[in-house]
Structure 1
Amino acid sequence: MIKILAFAGSNSSTSKNFQLIQHTVSLIEGYDVQVLNMSKMPFPLFSEDLEREEGYKNSLLELKDEIQKADALILSVNEHNGNPSAYFKNLIDWLSRVDRDFLEDTRVFLMSTSPGRRGGAGSLAVTKDLLPRFGAEIITTFSLPSFNHFFSKEEGITEEPYKTDHHERLQDFLFALEF
């Protein structure tokens, strides 16, 4: 069975991107889906000194192993000032030090949302260019603008054309996993 790992690039306990992840995986049937809540995974700020003196945390090594065991990844990245959050960038820095090709042969459905009208478009673009450096294949992307207006916990994405676009992109991603 195809294994999909899903998480948000945010360590916030109220992450809008994690809510989008939860909604997305609720629409998937017939796959082994594992969801990680990154608010429960703190990592120290990367530094070469810390890496040399203390090495890698077990939680980091376990995360890398989970990513590498998965056939695919659903990732939703948050945005701070037009870029991925410091947490997500730090996570990528640590993972790439453990194994530069930690995403090798990993197919990715990359998403982003924010309360603003751009839906995290800056972070999405940066991350879309960044992840292939570590071996990822970005299958498709999705951005949901105005999260507070177009999303509810009960219904998920509430507005067209975003609801249909999300569904179609998820189906494209799942179709790509079969081949």
Structure 2
Amino acid sequence: MTVRVLALVGSLRAGSHNRQLAEAAVKHAPGHVSVDIHEGLAEIPFYNEDIDVEGSVPAPAVALREAVSGADALLLVSPEYNGTIPAVLKNAIDWLSRPYGTGAITGKPVAVIGTAFGSYGGVWAQDEARKSAGVAGGAVLEEARLSVAESVTRFATTHPADDAEIATAVLEVLEQLATKANA
């Protein structure tokens, strides 16, 4: 059985190294895992209970919830913005946490990876993403980690998918997600 992993990328920038890291996950997924990158996080309005009303939930939020419901696991790919999680990724987690206790993220295995310009690879943001996803109800894999430092230098001429060390690390994270999803 194929484990379906949905990747949510916290950077909207066209040339994002985090988007490229998600692309590396697509390329290097083991045969029993498929990875899809969710498009459309930029179109989801900020979470507001007043618009989260059955029958009138904004279409991009419905699409996100349906995509996550159809996935076996989530891969959150987070850069670090001012020492924390990007708003677009936090907003997606907020939408997925509702309705409280039964949101699309509830019980879903979640791993967080990312890359950043700094020498720590965005670990603060990734820790915040793990915390937020866990509070929202996700089954966060604390041990499934990949923080790639100095992205601007490291990926200046090499796409993460073509970096052997990244390929191996992404494969390990996906194997951990698949194991948790099949448990």
TM range (shorter): 0.7 to 0.9
Task: State the match for 2:107 in structure 1.
Answer: 105
Pick the structure with more helix per residue.
Answer: 1
Structure 1 SS opposite 2:11: coil
Give the aligned CA root-mean-square deviation in angstroms: 2.6
Report the number of matched residues: 175
1:14 Cα offset (Å): 2.2
Structure 1 SS opposite 2:76: strand
Inter-CA distance 173–44: structure 2 relative to 1 (3 Å threshold): closer
Any conservation in 1 of the 2:116–2:150 contact (CA below 8 Å)?
Answer: yes
Any conservation in 2 of the 1:8–1:21 contact (CA below 8 Å)?
Answer: yes
Inter-CA distance 153–38: structure 2 relative to 1 (3 Å threshold): farther
Tell me if 1:118 matches 2:120: yes
Task: State the match for 1:143 in structure 2.
Answer: 147
Task: State the match for 2:159 in structure 1.
Answer: 153
Structure 2 SS opposite 1:79: coil
Task: State the match for 1:23 in structure 2.
Answer: 24
1:38 Cα offset (Å): 4.2
Structure 2 SS opposite 1:176: helix
1:177 Cα offset (Å): 3.4
Inter-CA distance 69–50: structure 2 relative to 1 (3 Å threshold): closer
Task: State the match for 2:93 in structure 1.
Answer: 92
Any conservation in 1 of the 2:27–2:161 contact (CA below 8 Å)?
Answer: no
Pick the structure with more strand per residue.
Answer: 1
Structure 2 SS opposite 1:108: strand
Task: State the match for 1:66 in structure 2.
Answer: 67
One-letter identity of the residue aligned with 1:120: G
Q: Structure 1-normalised TM-score?
A: 0.81
Q: Percent of pairs identical after alignment?
A: 25
Inter-CA distance 72–174: structure 2 relative to 1 (3 Å threshold): same
Any conservation in 1 of the 2:76–2:112 contact (CA below 8 Å)?
Answer: yes
Structure 2 SS opposite 1:33: strand
Q: Structure 2-normalised TM-score?
A: 0.80
Unmatched 5+ residue regions in structure 1?
Answer: none
Paired with 2:35 and 2:15, the residues of 1 have a C-alpha distance of 21
Deviates more, 1:169-178 or 1:19-28: 169-178
Structure 2 SS opposite 1:110: strand
| Deviation string, structure 1 residues 59-84 (Cα, Å, up to 9, x no partner) | 21111011011111111012110111
1:131 Cα offset (Å): 0.7
Deviates more, 1:122-131 or 1:7-16: 7-16
